[in-house]
Amino acid sequence: MFRPNFTITNKILNHIADISASREVILNAPLLPKWEVKLRKEAILKMTHHSTSIEGNRLTMEEVNRLLRGEDIAAWEKDKKEVLGYVKVLEYIDKLGEKGVDKITEDIILEIHRLNTRGILTDSEAGHYRKVEVAVVNGLGRVTFQPPKASQVPALMHDFVAWLNSKEAKELYTVLMSGIAHYEFVRIHPFVDGNGRTARALATLILYLHGFDTKRFFALDDYYNEERSRYYAALQTVDPQTINSTQWLEYFMEGVAVSMGRVKQAILDLSLDRLLKEERGQIYLNDRQMKILKYLQTNPRITISEIQKMFDKKVSRDTANRDLKPLLENKLVKRMGKGRGIYYELA
């Protein structure tokens, strides 16, 4: 079974302290549902833009936002497919959390890759381990990393996934486990393309399933996209012989600490806005209402008939309208269109 090689340094310990302090603020801050929805939507937008941008996607943050709102934008089809695919990955991660999944399997990783690369790679490549040799090259065409042979990938992935679900891994601080998994996945490079996006999605999944990012406000990728050269340089600090990932983990933990600090500050700023609370008090929403809001975080609109169908037991039209009423009154959603064309979107 895979065994990580690293040392807990003072830098890592300091980052853990900062991360833990920010996380306590994030989890315990009294936020209105409106602000929670806003922060989750922003996190989805940031993760989607930054994770695809790291690998050369040309869409700007605003273009990604417009695309997620359902608008048609002038852009390369590949760029649009990468963005829409990554949103599907984030939706899939949410569903795994809702189901209470506590074990990461190879099938889950393959599905993440398939969603990431659907319409970009062939059906025989999307969601399937590579059967050819690959190399990581820089902008000058020079090989900067030579991944393991294709014949080794199945065994390496089997050992890696066994470690992910081992007692040893689960006893680690969750962010350390996520960082180790990120590097080892990139090192194995199990797919012909889309390895980086899948690695970052896997790191996000680990944080979520292990209870670290339960509110889904945290965008793992924004820090790494700010200085892409530093991100790739950090990945290359790992000695290919010893696989000592200490320097990479110092960088990875730094990124999480900075990103968590930004979320903490945003939450503190929102918590200062007491006016809405004083006017209306806290808004309590039922499970169906929260599911409607969650759906609108990654979909531009919803109709009454879609609301009726989105639950295990189909609800009546009257029930769907009753669920919408407090969302409309508290300006969490707004009604658009007329007559039979009425639909609802986030306010």
Is 128 annotated as catalytic?
Answer: no
Set 15, 182, 189, 210: catalytic member? 189
- Residue 258 falls in which region: left (phi positive, over 0), alpha (psi -120 to 50) or beta: alpha
52-59 long-range Cβ contacts below 8 angstroms, 24+ apart: 52/79, 52/82, 52/83, 52/86, 52/197, 53/225, 54/196, 54/200, 54/221, 54/224, 54/225, 54/228, 54/231, 55/82, 55/196, 55/197, 57/82, 57/83, 59/83
Integer Rg of the chain from CA: 21
CA distance 325 to 97: 28
Sign of the alpha-carbon dihedral angle for 80, 81, 87, 90: negative
Going from the C-alpha of 129 to that of each of 110, 111, 134, the distances in angstroms are 8, 11, 12
Active site residues: 189
